[in-house]
Amino acid sequence: AQKVTQAQTEISVVEKEDVTLDCVYETRDTTYYLFWYKQPPSGELVFLIRRNSFDEQNEISGRYSWNFQKSTSSFNFTITASQVVDSAVYFCALSVPMYSGGGADGLTFGKGTHLIIQP
């Protein structure tokens, strides 16, 4: 069974501050995928990034960066110079590939971190 823990329920920062959202995962599979999704008030989940278990390179996309560390089972997300439009609930998720074990590959989500960026 898989598990994703997002210990930070809510984070509030002032615009332009940097903020890091923590994610810790558990799985016995050696091949897995990690994701971050953003959920604005409208409710639709917006895909941000996918990382497979064999690729520990950190990634940067504009103001967003991700730090994947298998040694600590963590996949943290940092927003640099935060903006009000970044306000949303952010979810970390884990899945095992469809053909590993022959079953479905439903995502296991954490409970989410509500990020509030104050102007």
Partner 1 sequence: ETGVTQSPTHLIKTRGQQVTLRCSSQSGHNTVSWYQQALGQGPQFIFQYYREEENGRGNFPPRFSGLQFPNYSSELNVNALELDDSALYLCASRPRGRTYNEQFFGPGTRLTVL
Can you give the binding site for partner 1, defined by CB under 8 A? 4, 6, 33, 35, 37, 42-47, 50, 52, 91, 93, 95, 97-99, 103-112
In terms of Cβ atoms closer than 10 Å to its own Cβ (0-12, 13-18, 19+), residue 90 is buried
Q: Which is nearer to partner 1, 13 or 107 (CB)?
A: 107
Q: Which is nearer to partner 1, 28 or 44 (CB)?
A: 44
CB 71 to partner 1: min, Å = 23
CB 39 to partner 1: min, Å = 9
Q: Which is nearer to partner 1, 44 or 62 (CB)?
A: 44
Query: Alpha-carbon distance 101 to 34, whole Å?
Result: 18
Angle at 91 between CA 88 and CA 93, to 5 degrees: 165
For tokens 């040694």, name the residue: 71
Q: Which is nearer to partner 1, 18 or 106 (CB)?
A: 106
For tokens 């890091």, name the residue: 20
CB 11 to partner 1: min, Å = 15
Report the b/e string of 52-74 with b at 16+ CB within 10 A.
ebeeeeeeeeeebbbbbeeeebb
CB 111 to partner 1: min, Å = 5
